[in-house]
């Protein structure tokens, strides 16, 4: 199984941006740990991070792998373009967030991807991504 891990706006600043919320690990460090986790399950990951919504949409629309793990960052709360791309996507998409979006500002409780993603995990840091890997692996054997 091959999974595209898409990280959106501001996630390239992990380790520097609000470490009290997102921790001190960089995106590179998180990707490295997630790659090890997935490799142990015979799953290959490809990573992409962008602060450009059109670039994110292009990746979703042109996916050639088996599934997507998507942390769209703030776009998860207001981008109907991202929602439409996910709804039209031909592979399963799992939404993830590092922080507990239900315990933060009221606008973060809005999930425009709800109803078009196969599953969603949040509030567990890297564990949110690991749960997405496990979910997709389990779905692949069904």
Instruction: Give the tens place of pLDDT for each residue, 49-83.
Output: 999 999 999 999 999 999 999 999 999 988 999 99
Give every CB contact of residue 91 below 8 A, 6+ residues apart in sequence: 63, 65, 66, 67, 68
Q: What structural domains does the chain harbor?
A: 7-124+135-140 (3.40.50.9100)
β-strands 44-49, 67-71 pairing: unpaired
Active-site residue, 77 included: no
Q: Which of 37, 78, 97, 129 is catalytic?
A: 97
Query: Rounded to an integer, what distance in angstroms lies between the CA atom of residue 77 and that of residue 57?
Result: 15
Active-site residue, 78 included: no
| pLDDT number for residue 20 | 74
**What's the chain's average pLDDT?**
92
Structure tokens at 74: 């703030």
Does residue 92 come out as left (phi exceeding 0), alpha (psi in the -120 to 50 range) or beta?
beta
CB 45 within 8 A of CB 129: no
């Amino acid at each position: 199984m091959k999974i595209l891990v898409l990280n959106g706006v501001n996630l390239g600043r992990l380790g520097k941006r609000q470490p009290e919320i997102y921790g001190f690990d960089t995106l590179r460090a998180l990707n490295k740990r997630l790659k090890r986790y997935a490799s142990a399950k015979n799953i290959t990951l490809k990573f992409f991070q962008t602060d450009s919504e059109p670039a994110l949409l292009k990746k979703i629309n042109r996916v050639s792998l088996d599934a997507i793990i998507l942390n769209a960052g703030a776009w998860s709360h207001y981008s109907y373009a991202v929602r439409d791309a996910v709804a039209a996507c031909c592979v399963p998409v799992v939404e993830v967030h590092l922080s507990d979006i239900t315990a933060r500002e009221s606008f973060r409780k809005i999930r425009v991807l709800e109803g078009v993603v196969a599953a969603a995990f949040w509030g567990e840091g890297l564990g949110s991504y690991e749960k997405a890997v496990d979910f997709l692996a389990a779905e692949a054997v069904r």
